[in-house]
Structure 1
Amino acid sequence: MSTWKQYLSRVARGREHAEDLRREEAEELMGAWLHGELPELYAGAFWVAYRIKGESLGELLGFHDAVRARMSTISRPGRLRPIVFASYNGTRRRANLLPLLALTLTRCGVPVLIHGADLDDLPGSASADHSPQGRVHTGQILEHLGLAAAANLAQAETLLQLQGLVYLPLSAWQPGLARIFALRESLGIRSSVHTLLKGLHPFAPQEALVCAAVTHPPYLQRLQEFFLATEIPALCFRATEGEPFANPQRRPDLFLCHQGESRLLLAKDHASLAQLPELPDNLAASTSEFISAVLDGRRALPLAIAEQAAALLLLSGRCADLANARALLRQSFTRIAA
Structure 2
Amino acid sequence: MQAFIAKVGKGAKTAKDLTWDEAKQAMGLLIEGSATPAQAGAFLMAMRMKGESVGELAAFTAVARQYVLPLSGLSGLKMVDVPCYAGKRDTFYAVVGAAIIAAAAGASVLMHGWEGTPERPGPWSVLGRLGISTDLGPAEVSETLASKGFAYLDMAIYHPPLARFLDLRRELGLRNFFHPVARLINPARARCQLIGMAHPPYCDKTVEALNMLGAPHALVMRGVEGEPELSIASLTRFVELRDGRLIPTTLHPKDVGLPLGTSRDMAGFAPSLRDQEAALLVKILQGEVKGGPRDWVVLNAAMLLYASGVTPSMVAGVPLANQTIDRGAARDKLRLLAQMGTASAASRLRAS
Deviation at 1:217, TM superposition (A): 1.1
RMSD of the TM alignment (CA)? 2.3
Alignment partner of 1:230 out of 207, 213, 224 = 213
Contact conserved, 1:253 with 1:268, CA < 8 A, in 2?
no
Change (3 A) 1:43 1:80: same
Distance 2:285 2:73 in 1: 25
Q: TM-score, normalised by structure 2?
A: 0.83
Distance 2:317 2:202 in 1: 29
Deviation at 1:146, TM superposition (A): 0.3
Letter of the 2:144 counterpart: L
Alignment partner of 1:185 out of 162, 170, 189 = 170
Deviation at 1:138, TM superposition (A): 0.3
Deviation at 1:265, TM superposition (A): 5.2
Q: How does 1:68-147 map to 2 (within 5 A)?
A: 68-75=65-72, 77=74, 79-118=76-115, 122=116, 132-147=117-132
Q: Match of 1:253, SS?
A: strand
Which residue of 2 is the match for residue 67 of structure 1? 64
Contact conserved, 2:8 with 2:16, CA < 8 A, in 1?
yes
| Percent of aligned positions that are identical | 26
When you count helix as a share of all residues, which structure comes out higher? 2
Contact conserved, 1:44 with 1:183, CA < 8 A, in 2?
no
Which residue of 2 is the match for residue 277 of structure 1? 265
Contact conserved, 2:223 with 2:231, CA < 8 A, in 1?
yes
Contact conserved, 1:105 with 1:313, CA < 8 A, in 2?
yes
Q: Match of 2:143, SS?
A: helix
Which residue of 1 is the match for residue 18 of structure 2? 21
Q: TM-score, normalised by structure 1?
A: 0.86
Letter of the 2:191 counterpart: A
Q: Does 1:262 align with 2:252?
A: no
Q: Does 1:312 align with 2:297?
A: no
Distance 2:307 2:87 in 1: 25
Which residue of 2 is the match for residue 128 of structure 1? none
Q: Does 1:37 align with 2:34?
A: yes
Unaligned runs of 5+ in 1: 123-131
Which structure ranks higher in relative contact order (CA pairs < 8 Å, sequence separation ≥ 6)? 2
Distance 1:249 1:87 in 2: 21
Deviation at 1:222, TM superposition (A): 0.5
Letter of the 1:299 counterpart: V
Q: Deviations over 1:177-211 (max 9, x none)?
A: 0122222122221111111111111123xx43111
Change (3 A) 1:110 1:269: closer
Distance 1:12 1:303 in 2: 47
Deviation at 1:290, TM superposition (A): 0.7
Change (3 A) 1:78 1:266: farther
Deviation at 1:32, TM superposition (A): 1.3
Contact conserved, 1:84 with 1:112, CA < 8 A, in 2?
yes
Bigger shift: residues 148-157 or 273-282: 273-282
Contact conserved, 1:150 with 1:159, CA < 8 A, in 2?
no
Contact conserved, 1:144 with 1:285, CA < 8 A, in 2?
yes
Letter of the 1:143 counterpart: G
Change (3 A) 1:35 1:242: same
Aligned residues: 318
Unaligned runs of 5+ in 2: 328-352
Distance 1:57 1:160 in 2: 31
Contact conserved, 1:85 with 1:113, CA < 8 A, in 2?
yes
